[in-house]
Chain A
Amino acid sequence: MNHAGFIIATYGVTFGAVIGLAAYAIKQGRELSRKVPDKDKPWT
């Protein structure tokens, strides 16, 4: 593959960012769910 460094860097940054963002959302959601009563969580 020509320009492999640039292409792999693009995929690494993109997929790394979306996985990081999703993992952070899950972690933050779980932490806050322990602190907030169910009445304030209409989706539960």
Chain B
Amino acid sequence: MTTATVNSKGVGTPTTRIYGALAIVALGWVLLGGLFFTPEDVVQGDAVRIMYVHVPTAWVAYLAFIVTGIASACWLIGKKHSLGFDRVAGASAEVGVVFMAMTLLSGSLWGRITWGTYWVWDPRLTTTAFLFVTYVGYLAVRGLGGSPEQRARRSSVIALLAVLEIPLVHFSVVLWRSLHQQASVLSPDGDIKMDGLMLFTLLFGVFGFSVLFAWLVSHRQRIMAMQDALQTNALDAAVSERLREAQV
């Protein structure tokens, strides 16, 4: 009998440690700059401070669901059907759902200040809530059981359909009459009407949350790889046990 070597240091690597350090620095600035150093907005006053977390978390949620879609397409198209793509898709969707929940919550609190209500069935809010529920469903389907290959096949099809909702959410403020403001940084005319420190904090927030997303997905997909390995090893052990029993 051979003894497998086991290293209990976790799933971190030098690259993920760099991601982690960058995320801590950037998000530390967002916390301090967003709350204390950036100026008030002439219209919204201090309520604008919510923007420094609301916009980056929404961006990361979109990014996460797009990564899920691309990784799922790679699994479906790839000749080897590498489960690595499926794990990246699943890990990215998990992170995306958490960030989408944060976006909905921060938006709701922001809405209470500026609109006087936590929720309104506005096109942007409604399509965002629908996107959130879709990816909760995607994660539920991933958890249905079966082999990793079966999980990958069914969830990749759903991911490719779900990603089509993202343009609908993004352009909902243009397509329909909406309470939600239109894009202020990526506006069609390219004119950014924002104070320099406010814009820097916002963009640094986007960078920080994006690096954190990369860190989280790297860790989660490795955790999934170990869970799959444990499941496969347990199945192999059970089959060997039954064969041994049959021989006795």
Question: How far apart are the CA atoms of A15 and B109 in the complex, in Å?
Answer: 15
Q: Chain A's nearest CB lies how many Å from the CB of B201?
A: 13
Contact with B along A2-39 (1 / 0, CB 8 A): 11101111110111011001100110111011111111
Contact with A along B91-130 (1 / 0, CB 8 A): 0000100100110011001101100000000000000000
A41: which B residues are within 8 A, CB to CB?
7, 11, 222, 225-226
Interface of A is mostly: helix
Binds A, one of B139-147, B164-172, B179-187, B211-219: B211-219
Judged by a CB distance under 8 angstroms, whether B227 is at the interface is yes
> Which of B5, B110, B219 is in CB contact (< 8 Å) with A25?
B219
- Assembly CA distance A18 to B8 (angstroms): 24
| CB–CB A30/B6 < 8 A | no
- The interface on chain B, measured as residues whose beta carbon lies within 8 A of the other chain's beta carbons, has a size of 47
A34 contacts across to B, CB distance below 8 A: 6, 8
B45 within 8 Å of A by Cβ?
Answer: yes
State A17–B31 Cα separation when bound (angstroms): 14
Q: Tell me the minimal C-beta distance from A28 to chain B in angstroms.
A: 5
Q: How far is the CA of A30 from the CA of B35 in the complex (A)?
A: 34
Partner of A28 from B9, B46, B223, B230 at Cβ < 8 Å: B223
Structural contact, A22 and B13, CB atoms closer than 8 A? no
Contacts A35-B230, A40-B226, A40-B229 hold; do A10 and B10 have CB atoms under 8 A apart?
A: no
Report whether A13 and B9 are in contact in the complex, using a CB–CB cutoff of 8 Å.
Answer: no
Please give, as numbers and ranges, the residues of chain A lying within 8 Å of B87 by CB-CB distance.
none
B-binding residues in A (CB < 8 A): 1-4, 6-11, 13-15, 17-18, 21-22, 25-26, 28-30, 32-41, 43-44
A sample of 14 inter-chain contacts (CB < 8 A) reads A1-B46, A6-B47, A18-B27, A18-B102, A22-B219, A25-B11, A26-B12, A26-B219, A30-B9, A33-B226, A36-B226, A38-B4, A40-B226, A41-B11
